[in-house]
Chains A and B, each alone.
Chain A
């Protein structure tokens, strides 16, 4: 399978099964509309009014060379998804607080409490979660914990205790913990910033972009926009963070279809690691994205990618979805198994219930079990185990499959009530992002 496209006046060709990426000229681009299905003579006749016969011949020779070295139209590896380690847990989203100090219109956590009571995780549950992770991560060394909420800083004392606890345990069990915290930044201060910068390998900081965009969706309990409260906190944290990872994480919705301006606004504020993503929402929400929004959104991604390249020289920033590591990306196994929700990734609620991932928390149907019982809902476990590229019919013929991994299962469920049936709007956006990301790579 191949995929070719034109973007930013460049012609790009992908060989899907091998992951090969090529920059081609317009002749080759046009030839590939017909070749190799049609033979050389037929293709030459078809195109000779537009190109020189000699050039057509040369280009076809080059295509043939790549086909014979299995670099173009390469064979599909037959792959099964039950590879080593993929059900041994490695990552845990730890919901230390199901309470939140702000209100966001699009919050999948229903304003912090995940369709349940406002709760803070206690120490015993937190420690049990870490033990659970250690004992269920057989064969893995790198383990990830994301302190999540609601707003995790509402339970900051617990986070500190759990980090210490995990650090003690990692030596004993030969594990390496990587911590992340995802916060709305409202409660950040010098003291917790110092702690976060010392102890968290990654920080995900929520802000949607420009003040009007942000404040339209993210506001305090008294209906006050959060932008003015958090912007200095964010700068304070990032300025003191040195080289360590962080991401400003925003969401775009129907209300800011021109989201490239939000990304650039954050870059203009001096932030250099930015992730702004489409909202995951049930289609009947007024802020949900729909098919009609796609042309505008495609245009935004393209505009952003061109700006991104321009700024690479003297004002670079990193946009999460434009990161693609063509040389050292993950292996085919990882690409086939996808996001890992319910397999190598789970979420734990303040009461110790286990869900496939943070997006499913609170929807009882998806409850896998609890820290006490372990994972007992084998039916759900099995459904998520099978939610991979091999089993998703929509993905089989999709050129983006090995970059995408099969999309967000929660998104699929929200739109189609079926985790195996990816959300079409999500797919279209993913494909556009990938085209932009690969185009950027070909320019470096």
Chain B
């Protein structure tokens, strides 16, 4: 494609085997105030 470059194909719609709850709690990582879940890593490999 010439006008649109795909940086990342979104996969949020794929919920298969998701929701295991093993990833880090947002506020424990560094912030202690400002949520932001998008910067956590999925631990469900």
Asked if chains A and B come from one complex, the reply is: yes
Q: Which residues of A contact B (CB under 8 A)?
A: 13, 15, 17-25, 27-28, 55, 58-59, 62-63, 65-66, 70-71, 74-75, 77, 79, 83-86, 88, 90-91, 93, 139-142, 144, 146, 178, 180, 182, 202, 204, 247, 249, 273, 275, 277-278, 280, 320-321, 323-335, 338-341, 344-345, 357-359, 402-408, 410-411, 426, 430, 433-434, 437, 441-442
A71–B4 alpha-carbon span in the complex (Å): 12
A236–B7 alpha-carbon span in the complex (Å): 39
A20–B10 alpha-carbon span in the complex (Å): 4
Tell me if B40 and A249 are in contact (CB < 8 A): no
Tell me if A247 and B30 are in contact (CB < 8 A): yes
Choose among B15, B21, B32, B44 the residue that contacts A139 (Cβ–Cβ < 8 A). Answer: B21
**Given A62-B1, A277-B31, residue A404 in contact with residue B36 (CB < 8 A):** yes
Interface SS of B by simple majority: loop
A323–B5 alpha-carbon span in the complex (Å): 21
Q: Which residues of chain B are near A91, meaning CB under 8 Å?
A: 24-25, 27-28
A-B contact list, 6 entries, CB within 8 Å:
A23-B7, A24-B5, A55-B3, A84-B20, A329-B39, A358-B32
CB distance from B24 to the nearest CB of A (A): 7
Tell me if B13 and A75 are in contact (CB < 8 A): yes
Tell me if B23 and A334 are in contact (CB < 8 A): yes
**Given A334-B37, A405-B38, residue A85 in contact with residue B6 (CB < 8 A):** no
Q: Which residues of chain B are near A410, meaning CB under 8 Å?
A: 33
Q: Which residues of chain B are near A344, meaning CB under 8 Å?
A: 21, 25
Tell me if B13 and A357 are in contact (CB < 8 A): no
Tell me if A326 and B8 are in contact (CB < 8 A): yes
A273–B39 alpha-carbon span in the complex (Å): 14
A-B residue pairs, 5 tightest by C-beta: A18-B10, A85-B21, A20-B10, A403-B38, A405-B37
**Given A85-B20, A332-B12, A344-B25, residue A25 in contact with residue B3 (CB < 8 A):** yes
A273–B30 alpha-carbon span in the complex (Å): 10
Interface residues on B, range: 35 or more
Choose among B7, B13, B22, B36 the residue that contacts A21 (Cβ–Cβ < 8 A). Answer: B7
Tell me if A249 and B30 are in contact (CB < 8 A): yes
Q: Which residues of chain B are near A79, meaning CB under 8 Å?
A: 15
CB distance from A403 to the nearest CB of B (A): 3
A19–B7 alpha-carbon span in the complex (Å): 11
A430–B26 alpha-carbon span in the complex (Å): 14
Q: Which of A65, A278, A325 has the most CB of B within 10 A?
A: A325
**Given A84-B19, A139-B21, residue A22 in contact with residue B28 (CB < 8 A):** no
**Given A63-B4, A146-B28, A441-B7, residue A328 in contact with residue B41 (CB < 8 A):** yes
Tell me if B39 and A324 are in contact (CB < 8 A): yes
CB distance from B9 to the nearest CB of A (A): 6
Q: Which residues of chain B are near A332, meaning CB under 8 Å?
A: 12-13, 15, 18
Tell me if B12 and A333 are in contact (CB < 8 A): no
Choose among B4, B27, B35, B40 the residue that contacts A66 (Cβ–Cβ < 8 A). Answer: B4
Tell me if B27 and A345 are in contact (CB < 8 A): yes
CB distance from B29 to the nearest CB of A (A): 7
Tell me if B21 and A15 are in contact (CB < 8 A): no
Choose among B1, B4, B25 the residue that contacts A13 (Cβ–Cβ < 8 A). Answer: B4
CB distance from A324 to the nearest CB of B (A): 5
Choose among B7, B22, B30, B37 the residue that contacts A202 (Cβ–Cβ < 8 A). Answer: B30
Residue on B nearest A331 in the bound complex, by CB: B18
Q: Which of A249, A327, A330, A339 has the most CB of B within 10 A?
A: A330
Choose among A74, A77, A141, A335 the residue that contacts B38 (Cβ–Cβ < 8 A). Answer: A335
Tell me if B22 and A140 are in contact (CB < 8 A): yes
